[in-house]
Chains A and B, each alone.
Chain A
């Protein structure tokens, strides 16, 4: 087992370094020029100003030298300075990450809480009305554009019915809770601030439903397929034959084996939620990594783009690694 883990860790490290080279090359070879995006028209027409600006950000050095500097910084945990915010990229990422982490985690738990029971029910009552409902819901979930769903939810529940609060993480006049993590739900509980906790929770409802929509569909489908598969196995028939009650068979014997593919998909889905929050965060004015990514891309802020793509890719790699390992624990045949 430890050899397997070591092998996978090494492969992931090589991938991360290669990924950094690829993303660095892409970001620097594409024709977009940050000068025009950052300096005004007047400043950009003055060659001396442009040259000074390029020298300041190291854009006048040859490409390999820039990559060398970037790698050197990377080893020390330095992702460079953001051209747009004029702050270290890592500081920016650390500042925006908790908002995305909180949103994605709530959305993930929501998709598990809805997707798994719905998938089980759909498999048990195959071709019944629950099955049809599950299919319809998951189809709508994966087919609806996230940005549109976000708009519709806001229009109905905030604009129309006024049940939900508007965009943002908290009420505009509220102060963010003091706390160690930047996760508002956790920090407000930590501080014993019940009012801020309910405010933060209320603001999470709509965006997490929107973000979870596609994942709920995926998890429902996977659970249903895996359950149908394991309900047809011999050991299920045996446990029925020896007289176990219907739900005991389903929950104790069929479900554990059906969960293996769900774990795999769940891990990937979580990584996707972290990365895929771009649209949701844009519509809900959510101050997270998604919105930061979008802003950096629009401003051609290359250090920020490289930094965030790298951080997200490494998260991807790590999640994959964890998934594969849990696979190895759940299914001993993989370990060789």
Chain B
């Protein structure tokens, strides 16, 4: 994000200007740094984790945090810190898959509805409303349970409830674009509808969609972790944050087993929220700090 180049008049930054800029974009930079750090952790987990995530050693089970085990050990003597680093992989992957696939599907449906108008619009949008009238968690829970335990099934179940908000936003944005003069000009020039849709309307709707995607990544990670916590996301030996909290939820005395993985979820979600807010302010300076 080139936040500093957005200022039209170039003045030497004074102290108060720097402060204002920091106030406005500081959280976004912090959020970006957090997210980037977690992505690096996810990629490098096998090399930076001090132990194997599934190395069982019951002689050292439930040890409190120490120099040897920074975040202690769980009921099977596995190193919580190593499992937490490995857990970043699945959480981020699930979050990105759900949101990107859901956004692609929803945007396609929304833009087609806005372009086609009439029956197609009516039909697609009523279907969207229909899916929206189900409570998302409960529907995803039911589908995930029926499909069977596993990350792919859980992601599929989340996709079923995830696309409608993108369809609504994309349709609204595309309707606005449709009535713009440049679309009329393109039609007059004899461009095919598909070309106008993909090359002209779609790019102009990407900004607000990108904001929703970024804000939604945290949401998707939260929901995936929640379904895992309920026992649907992963099969036991695999390290995943939600299921790690579930494994430690009875252990109130040995708080470290559940506390650290939850803290990991919290930081990554805060990171994405900061990024999304920053992106929104940057794209829409008028609506700043609302």
A contacts, CB < 8 Å to B: 15, 18-19, 22-23, 26-27, 30-32, 127, 139-140, 142-149, 151-152, 154-155, 158-159, 225, 228-229, 271-272, 275-276, 278-279, 282-283, 293-294, 297-298, 300, 305, 308-309, 312-313, 316-317, 320
Contact = CB atoms under 8 A, between A and B. Distances in A.
A26 B226 contact: no
Contact of A145 (B141, B147, B266): B266
A145 B262 contact: yes
12 contacts: A143-B218, A145-B225, A145-B265, A147-B242, A148-B262, A148-B265, A149-B262, A155-B255, A271-B135, A272-B135, A294-B141, A305-B145
B145 A297 contact: yes
A15 B137 CA distance: 19
B147 A151 contact: no
Nearest to A271: B135
B146 A30 contact: yes
B145 A279 contact: no
Given A151-B245, A283-B249, A26 B135 contact: no
Contacts, number: 144
Interface of B: 23, 129-131, 133-135, 137-139, 141-148, 160, 218, 222, 225-226, 229-231, 242, 245-246, 248-249, 252-253, 255, 258-259, 261-263, 265-266, 269-270, 273-274, 290
A148 B266 contact: yes
Contacts of B258: 148, 151, 155
Contacts of B259: 148, 151-152, 155
A152 B259 CA distance: 7
Contacts of B131: 22
B135 A18 contact: no
Q: Is the interface of A mostly helix, strand, loop or mixed?
A: helix
A317 B133 contact: yes
Contacts of A32: 145-148
Contacts of A275: 135, 137-138
Given A145-B245, A147-B226, A158-B252, A15 B133 contact: yes
B75 to A, nearest CB: 15
Residue among B23, B160, B218, B245 with the most chain A CB within 10 A? Answer: B245
B136 to A, nearest CB: 8
